[in-house]
């Protein structure tokens, strides 16, 4: 083995917590060229490159890192883009700690951190944006076959880009006025600046992909029309319908679903109200229910809107919470409070129907359930009240029925998600493929992209007549 | 999908009739459905009912109540709305019922019109009650006159029709005709009282078109949730029409006041920019 690499990742500059809680600018500031090259040196260029097997889209990780080390950034861009159509997004929001970086050999050395693959990915993508003016890639000959993609989240965008690169005519249908799915309506600006999403979408459009916004499929365009007019269909509509705990007081003013709260903030820019017209409640005392990324995003957004106190309540403990560690630490640094083993049981309101508090109960962890996680059990008579004028429920989403109700003949599983073959994305309906959260339930950006990528490959095979599971 | 304002007509103080160019919506819209409109880059998304459709365009009738609707009503023919998504919501469930009562109030009269036309196409006999503050606010009168079998107008001050409210009209209709099904569209408080009245009068079903605060209109945000028959429903995808006798009206009324303070700030700022608006 070569020289032992430095134990720690090159630190990435961040906005100081005291400063950043007053703005929506990006928290992490990225590597300089010198820092990136230094970090790239930590990679051992392992021949068996375990990191790649941890990546849902199989990026040639040592390949692009080597180019960074050699100061050949443009070549790093090319390698990265070959695998990943949204690298600036993934470099920022992928859970690298459980994927590529979890497998990195350097991280296995006692006391050592893995190579900062995510930060390097982000660096390359951002470098391209500044330094490469013409990122046109040559498209193959138009194959005169049309594919409809429903939904413009990471699954749909990836499928669209890959299909366009194969020479198909691709139309993407999006219900909202802006493409990007959760990337534009859910994940906040301070974690993923919208200019970056816009940039990557501009790239996908440059591949001749047409994106039709304001077009909710099922109503604005019917499923029959799509089946008639297109040679194949990819469904990537996400899982976006909010779950509610359905406890008393859910419809009080001040009780939000995370989807509504974050959509107001991100897509509609309510944090710039009244410069932008969409309002949001700027709560003084905010309670966020949940323990995932969505809860972290809601809590940190509430702080930035000017809350004096933000408390996340989660029914299990710190160990079980599904949020990315990095974002949890960011939230702690910024002063978000956490109450573990706590569950809301009632929202209290005044006579005008406005929220004034949350009645909670304390939980304890019982025996592990089928998933291996210890089940939270309420402790009798342990209830207490937290004063609050805003609550955000971030307890997950269900499959949205909007499209599925209109899609006759498509098999749906018992949780309401589309049944699709894991390898190919093929559904039970001829020429229809699906992927992303609407197949798996709420998951990650990169998994949705992986599904979009696989489906694009198999849609290509289907259109070439080399694959047909519906015979 | 140009979203150009082809025609704009004033119907009443603060109420404007728009014809908007949008072939796709014109082709597909059915009675009872709505669109979500964003008039510009910094604008909010607001729902508006599709009042009629033509070859390449559709009609919507807008009452100016706050920043966005005022701004919209001040737009001119030839200008474009930046975004319109739709049609959204479930179409009205229309069939042959025999005698049907239709109650419209304020700008809800516009929402009622396509429903009335469709009911007429199914050969129903229409008993229509239109209400307004005074005669200036009773809109689309001629269009209804040509359509209905019985027409009662009520105004608060008696300046047209009978002096009273629409529920008085309901009593009048029921005196002569037995009605089993009704539609009521108008201000939330009006629909609430119509629903109570319908129950009293033994009308089996009264459809109301709810107008809670919405954002996406596709079931994604949950802002439009209402309680119907004790269950949570999303008005945009489960409605917008519901059985009025089962709606939790008081909750809906409270939820509609959710952003009163913010709306005032936004409207105040707007008035500072554009000055006096009383002419609108
Ligand atoms: C707040 C939040 C934070 C998150 N943070 C992370 C993170 O840090 N890292 C990570 O990896 N993952 C994160 N996730 C999860 C990740 O965003 C999702 O797993 C991913 O976006 C799913 O992609 P998708 O393409 O399946 O669907 P979506 O991103 O949900 O996109 C679906 C799109 O389809 C559109 N659509 C729906 N129905 C129709 C229709 N009928 N017609 C037309 N269009 C339609 C929707 O408007 C939407 O734009 C987060 C999620 C949320 C909500
Ligand atoms: C399905 C549906 C159909 C509708 N059809 C019509 C129509 O045909 N003609 C018409 O004039 N109005 C219609 N409305 C009401 C219209 O959407 C509101 O008047 C408009 O949103 C007010 O916006 P504003 O900024 O001008 O006023 P604001 O000052 O923001 O609000 C005034 C009042 O309008 C309501 N409101 C505010 N924002 C929203 C929102 N995003 N969604 C719904 N209600 C809101 C609230 O009750 C508020 O108190 C409809 C509403 C719904 C839900
Ligand atoms: S496992 Fe780590 S050290 Fe090895 S190639 Fe991948 S990133 Fe480099
Ligand atoms: S408007 Fe968002 S769910 Fe109905």
Same domain, A252 and A352: yes
Position A27 scores a pLDDT of 94
Same domain, A41 and A159: no
How far apart (Å, rounded) are the C-alpha atoms in residues A147 and A165? Answer: 13
Query: What interhelical angle do A293-304 and A325-334 show, nearest 10?
Result: 20
Position A2 scores a pLDDT of 52
Is A89 domain-assigned? Answer: yes
Q: What is the CATH number of the domain that holds A44?
A: 1.10.1060.10
Same domain, A343 and A251: yes
Same domain, A103 and A210: no
Cβ atoms B265, A278 nearer than 8 A: no
Same domain, A214 and A248: no
Nearest CB to A263: which of B24, B215, B269?
B215
Residue B152 clears pLDDT 80, i.e. is over it:
yes
| Beta partners for residue A392, in sequence order | A256, A288
Q: Which residues contact A349 (CB under 8 A, 6 or more apart)?
A: A249, A252, A253, A355, A356
Give percent above pLDDT 70 in chain B: 100
Is A370 domain-assigned? Answer: yes
Residue B245 clears pLDDT 60, i.e. is over it:
yes
Give percent above pLDDT 90 in chain B: 82
From the CB of B110, is ligand 2 less than 6 Å away? yes
How far apart (Å, rounded) are the C-alpha atoms in residues A378 and A388? Answer: 22
Same domain, A156 and A269: no
Q: How far is the CA of A181 from the centre of ligand 1 (A)?
A: 5
From the CB of A44, is ligand 3 less than 6 Å away? yes
Q: Which two tokens stand for residue A380?
A: 């009798």
Q: How many domains does chain A have?
A: 3
Position A5 scores a pLDDT of 80
With tokens 């700022």, the residue in question is B269
Contact A250 B255 (CB under 8 A): no
Position B1 scores a pLDDT of 59
Overall average pLDDT of the B179-198 stretch: 95
Final residue in a domain of this structure, among A99, A131, A163:
A131
Alpha-carbon gap: A35 to the closest alpha carbon of chain B (Å): 38
Position A464 scores a pLDDT of 92
Q: Which residues contact B158 (CB under 8 A, 6 or more apart)?
A: B164
Is A139 domain-assigned? Answer: no
Same domain, A350 and A289: yes
Same domain, A298 and A357: yes
Position B277 scores a pLDDT of 85
Position A141 scores a pLDDT of 81
Final residue in a domain of this structure, among A355, A374, A393:
A393
Same domain, A120 and A164: no
Position A408 scores a pLDDT of 87
B82 in contact with A, Cβ within 8 Å: yes
Residue of chain B whose Cα is closest to the Cα of A258: B221
Alpha helices in A25-180 (DSSP H): 33-40, 50-53, 61-69, 73-83, 87-93, 100-103, 105-108, 117-131, 154-165
Cβ atoms B119, B96 nearer than 8 A: no
ipTM (interface predicted TM):
0.93
Which residues of B are less than 8 Å from A280 in CB distance? 262
Q: A372-403 pLDDT, tens per residue?
A: 888 899 999 999 999 999 999 999 999 998 89
Q: What is the CATH number of the domain that holds A327?
A: 3.50.50.60
Is A136 domain-assigned? Answer: no
Same domain, A330 and A354: yes
Closest atom of ligand 2 to CA, residue B215:
41
The boundaries of the domain holding residue A55 are 13-131
Final residue in a domain of this structure, among A353, A371, A393:
A393
Is A6 domain-assigned? Answer: no
Q: For chain A, which ranges sit under pLDDT 70?
A: 1-3, 134-136
For B184, other C-beta atoms within 10 Å of its C-beta total: 28
Is A253 domain-assigned? Answer: yes
Same domain, A384 and A272: yes
Evaluated on CA atoms B29, B30, B31, B35, the torsion sign reads negative
Position A135 scores a pLDDT of 62
Distances (CA, A) of A251 to A282, A290, A393, B242, B258: 18, 18, 12, 18, 11
Same domain, A174 and A233: yes
Beta sheet of B99-105, edge-to-edge order:
B162-163, B150-155, B125-132, B99-105, B181-185, B205-209, B241-243
Longest CA–CA span in chain B (Å) reads: 53
The CA angle A266-A272-A276, to the nearest 5 degrees, is 90
Is A5 domain-assigned? Answer: no
Mutational test site, ligand 1, from A238, A298, A325, max ligand atoms within 8 Å of CB: A238
């Amino acid at each position: 083995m070569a020289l032992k690499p430095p134990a720690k990742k090159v630190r990435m500059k961040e906005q100081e917590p005291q400063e950043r809680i007053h703005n929506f600018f990006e928290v992490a500031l990225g590597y300089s060229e010198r820092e990136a090259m230094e970090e790239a040196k930590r990679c051992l260029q392992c021949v068996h490159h375990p990191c790649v097997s941890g990546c849902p889209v199989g990026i040639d990780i040592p390949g692009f890192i080597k180019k960074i080390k050699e100061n050949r950034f443009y070549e790093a861009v090319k390698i990265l883009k070959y695998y990943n159509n949204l690298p600036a997004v993934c470099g920022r929001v992928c859970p690298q700690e459980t994927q590529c970086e979890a497998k990195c050999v350097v991280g296995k050395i006692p006391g050592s951190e893995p190579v900062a693959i995510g930060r390097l990915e982000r660096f390359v993508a951002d470098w391209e944006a500044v330094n490469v003016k013409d990122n046109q890639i040559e498209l193959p000959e138009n194959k005169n076959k049309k594919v409809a993609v429903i939904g413009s989240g990471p699954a749909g965008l990836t499928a669209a880009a890959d299909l366009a690169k194969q020479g198909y005519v691709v139309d993407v249908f999006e219900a909202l006025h802006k493409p990007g799915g959760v990337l534009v309506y859910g994940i906040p600006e301070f974690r993923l600046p919208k200019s970056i999403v816009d940039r990557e979408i501009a790239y996908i459009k440059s591949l001749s992909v047409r994106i039709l916004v304001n077009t909710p499929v099922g109503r604005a365009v019917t499923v029959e029309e799509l089946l008639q007019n297109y040679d194949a269909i990819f469904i990537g509509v996400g899982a976006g319908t909010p779950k509610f705990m359905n406890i008393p007081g859910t419809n009080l003013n001040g009780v939000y679903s995370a989807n509504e709260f974050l959509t107001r903030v991100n897509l509609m820019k309510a944090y710039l109200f009244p410069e932008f017209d969409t309002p949001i409640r700027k709560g003084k005392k905010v309670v966020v229910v949940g323990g995932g990324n969505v809860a972290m995003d809601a809590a940190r957004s509430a702080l930035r809107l000017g809350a004096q106190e933000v408390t996340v309540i989660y029914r299990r403990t710190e160990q079980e919470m599904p949020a990315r560690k990095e974002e949890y630490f960011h939230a702690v640094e910024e002063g978000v409070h956490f109450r573990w083993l706590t569950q809301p049981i009632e929202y209290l309101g005044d006579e005008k129907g406005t929220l004034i508090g949350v009645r909670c109960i304390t939980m304890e962890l019982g025996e592990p359930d089928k998933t291996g996680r210890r089940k939270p059990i309420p402790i009798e008579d342990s209830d207490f009240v937290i004063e609050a004028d805003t609550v955000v429920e971030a307890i997950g989403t269900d499959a949205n029925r909007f499209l599925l109700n209109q899609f006759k003949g498509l098999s749906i599983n018992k949780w309401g998600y589309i049944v699709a073959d894991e390898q190919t994305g093929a559904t039970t309906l001829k020429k229809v493929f699906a992927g992303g959260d609407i197949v798996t339930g709420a998951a990650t950006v990169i998994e949705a992209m992986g599904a979009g990528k696989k489906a694009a490959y198999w849609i290509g095979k289907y259109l070439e007549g080399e694959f047909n599971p519906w015979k | 999908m140009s979203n150009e304002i082809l025609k704009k007509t004033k119907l009443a103080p603060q109420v404007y009739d728009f014809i908007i160019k949008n072939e796709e919506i014109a082709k597909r819209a059915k009675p009872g459905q709505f669109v979500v409109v964003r008039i510009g880059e910094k604008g909010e998304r607001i729902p508006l009912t599709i009042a009629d459709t033509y070859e390449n365009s559709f009609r919507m009738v807008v009452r100016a109540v706050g920043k966005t609707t005022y701004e919209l009503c001040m737009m001119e023919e030839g200008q474009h709305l930046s975004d319109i998504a739709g049609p959204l919501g479930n179409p009205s469930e229309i069939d042959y019922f025999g005698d049907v009562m239709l109650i419209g109030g304020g700008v809800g009269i516009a929402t009622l019109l396509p429903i009335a036309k469709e009911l007429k196409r199914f050969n129903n006999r229409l008993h229509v009650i239109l209400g307004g503050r005074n005669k200036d606010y009773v809109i689309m009168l001629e269009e209804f006159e040509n359509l209905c079998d019985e027409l009662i107008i009520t105004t608060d001050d008696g300046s047209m029709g009978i002096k009273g409210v629409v529920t008085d009209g309901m009593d009048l209709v029921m005196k002569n005709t037995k009605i089993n099904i009704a539609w009521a569209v108008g201000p939330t408080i009006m629909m609430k009282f119509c629903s109570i009245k319908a129950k009293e009068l033994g009308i089996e079903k009264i459809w109301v078109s709810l107008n809670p605060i919405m954002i996406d209109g596709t079931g994604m945000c949950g802002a439009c949730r209402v309680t119907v028959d004790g269950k949570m429903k999303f008005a945009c995808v489960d409605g917008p029409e519901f059985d009025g006798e089962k709606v939790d009206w008081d909750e809906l009324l409270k939820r509609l006041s959710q952003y009163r303070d913010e709306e005032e700030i936004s409207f105040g700022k707007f008035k500072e920019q554009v000055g006096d608006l009383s002419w609108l």
